[in-house]
Structure 1
Amino acid sequence: MATEQTGATGAAEQERLPQVWPSLRARDARALIRFLVDAFGFEENVVYGEGEVVHHAELDWPEGGGVMLGSVRESEDDGFDLPPGSFGAYVVTDRLDEVYQRAKAAGARITAEPHTTDYGSYDFAAVDPEGNRWNFGSYRGAPRKSHRA
């Protein structure tokens, strides 16, 4: 069986800084990848898999960060046996109205229309076809506390 790989590779690859990668499992990972690209604007970086099974995929968020995902498999031996639909994420964007319109046009189930929160963020929320919860907003988090040696 051949392993499929799509995405950027080679010497010109951009080095990634240390970061947190939210990760999820999907019943139909290939369909979820298409949905996240079409509805929300994630960008497919790499997909490793065979046939309908996705062993590992990385989707980049154009404004920074990204998510990893893969297909649910009968025997999860990697210690990462999350049930599909149990994921939730807050995704920072300066393009909220654009992402909202794109999500709506792609048929995403909107659970909260665009609104301004009591802490000043401009947000909306949606659910993907697997049942995962996605919140998009302008809040970038509180300023980091200084690190002391």
Structure 2
Amino acid sequence: MWPTLVANDARALIRFLVDAFGFTETVVHGEGDRVDHCELAWPLGGGIMLGSVREAPDNPWPLKPGTFGAYVVADDIDALYARAVAAGAEITRKPFDTDYGSRDFRARDPEGNLWSFGTYRGEPR
């Protein structure tokens, strides 16, 4: 699964997601400030795709910037939290322990998207 989002300033968002949260830039297509397609890999597997918002009728992915939300599995929540704070992420909830055994924190990126990071990997199948 590849969650997708759009951004008003996609290049700045890419830099932020790499610096603050630790995504790895895999590929970025586009010219100048416009990003037609970007893939960012997550260290534990999977990743996201993103691009610049476009006006209709040239909008192949009609989402609004800042409306994305995701839960991302991570191993060291406190270290990731410290990295996000150092990079200027807007923290919406500091690290906390859940009643189901996860350690989580939440942040917003500069576009307003909500990111929740935690150690919960889901129930065994």
- Calculate the TM-score normalised by the size of structure 2: 0.96
Alignment match of 1:126 (pick from 107, 116, 122) = 107
Contact 2:53 2:59 in 1 (8 A): no
Mapping for residues 1-149 of structure 1, pairs under 5 Å:
20-75=1-56, 76-78=58-60, 80-144=61-125
Q: Counterpart of 1:17?
A: none
Any runs of at least 4 consecutive aligned residues in structure 1 with deviations exceeding 3 A, and if so which? none
Q: Which amino acid aligns with 2:89?
A: A
SS of corresponding position for 1:54: coil
Cα deviation for residue 77 of structure 1 reads 4.1
Q: Deviations over 1:44-100 (max 9, x none)?
A: 00000011000000000011110000000123442x211000000000011211110
SS of corresponding position for 2:65: coil
Q: Distance in 1 between matches of 2:46 and 2:82?
A: 22
Q: Which amino acid aligns with 2:76?
A: R
CA RMSD in angstroms, aligned pairs only: 0.8
Q: Which has the higher contact order (CA 8 A, sep 6+)?
A: 2
Structure 1 runs not aligned, ≥5 long: 1-19, 145-149
Contact 2:39 2:47 in 1 (8 A): yes
Q: Counterpart of 1:4?
A: none
Cα deviation for residue 140 of structure 1 reads 0.3
How many aligned positions are there?
A: 124
Larger Rg: 1
Q: Which amino acid aligns with 1:63?
A: L
